[in-house]
Structure 1
Amino acid sequence: MNIHHLNCGSVREIEATYDGPPPAHAVNHCLLIETGEGLVLVETGLGLGDVRDPDGTLGTEWVEMARPVLKEEETAIHQLQRLGFSASDVRHIIVTHLDVDHCGGLPDFPDAKVHVLAAELEAALAQAPSRRYRPAHWAHGPAWATYQPADASQEKIRDWYGFTAIHPEGLPEEILMIPLGGHTAGHAGVAVRDGDRWLLHCGDAYYYHRELQPSPHPHPLLDIVQTSSEVHHDLRLGTQARLRELVRDHGHEVTAFSAHDPWEFANLSRS
């Protein structure tokens, strides 16, 4: 599989908490995966509708908080087209959760099957419209595929480095959904085999690379965002602790990254 790292929606500029990295816009880190049976998107970031009508689709409150740059050339559909693909080439989309900045591009790929944990979809449909969930992002009626991680009897449930892993229907075995609770009702990471290593897109399970250090060091601004949007504080912290153990014990096999850290994105997009 060929894997592309895409920033599908720059938001407010932030600074690192130590000398060295220059200030950078936080990103919406997406993956485009070329498989033998079409394209898979992990996350969509912001879509064309968000760029053209941000207050209407994203909501004024979220726009004022996140300060999105709103460039059409950053949308996933434009980046795919520059790579020579079309919207119809995207067969599957996996979203870590349905916050506005993670699924805003869904309407740009109306024919794709959208994979999400069942609890997340249930929460989104029940709570929208809100700052977190915006119904414009699924008004086109996606073909949802939902999963219950607690149902260990399912053949698609397996162990992955001590985490529960779900093999999404119709996708290669090298792509897995990893429930990472605490941020939303049904938040998940996505593991993708990349040669002899795994990539683990952690979504919003953490926000800043120094949170995975042995002595975690949150980013002061990003920490406000993650603590104000969590649905379960202890579960979120427990998830981060497990991710630190994963990096400590299996960092030679697994590269973990978050959805919004611009310095992680820069390192991975250059590799």
Structure 2
Amino acid sequence: MNQPQQVLVELMLMSAGYCVHPEFVTLRGGSLRPAAYPAGFACIRHPSQGWILFDTGYSHRFRELTASFPYSMYRRLTPVILREENVAVRQLARLGIAAEDVRFVILSHFHADHIGGARDFPFSRFLYPQAAYDAVRNLGPIRATRAGFVAGLLPDRFSEIAQPIESLAERVSLPDNVPFDSGYDLFGDGSLIAIAMPGHAAGQVGLLLSTSDARVLLCADASWSSRALRDNRPPHPAAGLVMHDRAAYRDSFRRLRSWQAADPELVIAPSHCREFFDIDSREVRRL
């Protein structure tokens, strides 16, 4: 495996809705008070591949598809607040980016807050980690609810318009100070490196990239917040109820902390962290 040369990209961080949990669930020792967790997504501009999304946040379809049992249990456990003007496709339109301009949508995993807006991008090619989709694609309604997966959020003919990352990209080695084994160079130019960070969900991936101002790791839900990483405060054991593999989560979290210590200039952005994502969708964060 080779270490890739790196092409710079542009990066914008936004959110499409948010959910509410007691803080202690996601931050050990946290408050019993409810806290808001933005459903973050990233909009990336590649110099030759064009516009790319990393996840999509929520859409109104989440409410529609979780109206009846058993999916209604999902909605009750994770109350969602979303204004229609804040769905990803409409936010992008306000920036002059049409749905047909988005060439790729990379899904970190298949929880509803990450795939909620996927159907709004029918012209895009979807990339996903094989293990993440394999874990949910054949689940019945009850087991799918337990896994945080709502199949109706995915585009029609998903298997025809989507491709596993592993079948598309070359596997590459990572620098010696990176405590993950390897990654996948999505476009063969070092611009976007998908790195497996399982535990929260089967096969979950983060995305390593560089802009002109920063090196950034979009770590998806391998941590719920930057504060948790800084202070070594992983989720309460109760959060394990919604995790695919608690031991794998602890391992990914530990590796992230080790990476942060070895490379303090690396910006690690968890998908639900309010230090990076605005819950009201009023701010576009550029890194």
* TM-score (norm. length: structure 1): 0.84
Identify the match of residue 33 of structure 1 among 44, 69, 76: 44
* Aligned 1:169-180 pairs, distance under 5 A: 170=187, 173-180=190-197
**Identity over the aligned pairs, expressed in percent?**
22
Output the amino acid matched with 2:19.
V
State the partner residue of 1:141.
Answer: 157
* Aligned 1:1-271 pairs, distance under 5 A: 1-12=9-20, 25-36=36-47, 37-50=49-62, 54-55=66-67, 59-129=71-141, 130-131=144-145, 132-142=148-158, 143-148=161-166, 155-160=170-175, 161-163=178-180, 164-168=182-186, 170=187, 173-195=190-212, 197-213=214-230, 216-218=232-234, 224-225=238-239, 227-252=240-265, 254-266=266-278, 269=285
State the partner residue of 2:6.
Answer: none
* TM-score (norm. length: structure 2): 0.80
Output the amino acid matched with 2:277.
F
Q: Which moved more, 1:107-116 or 1:229-238?
A: 229-238
The separation in 1 between residues aligned to 2:262 and 2:46, in whole angstroms, is 29
Aligned residues between the structures? 260
Q: Which moved more, 1:94-103 or 1:42-51?
A: 42-51
SS in 1 for 2:275: helix
Q: CA RMSD in A?
A: 3.0
The separation in 1 between residues aligned to 2:105 and 2:70, in whole angstroms, is 20
Q: Is the 8 A contact 2:122 2:155 kept in 1?
A: no
Q: Is the 8 A contact 1:39 1:90 kept in 2?
A: yes
Output the amino acid matched with 2:253.
Q
Q: Is the 8 A contact 1:176 1:191 kept in 2?
A: yes
Give the Å deviation of 1:103.
Answer: 0.5
SS in 2 for 1:224: helix
SS in 2 for 1:191: strand
Give the Å deviation of 1:162.
Answer: 4.1
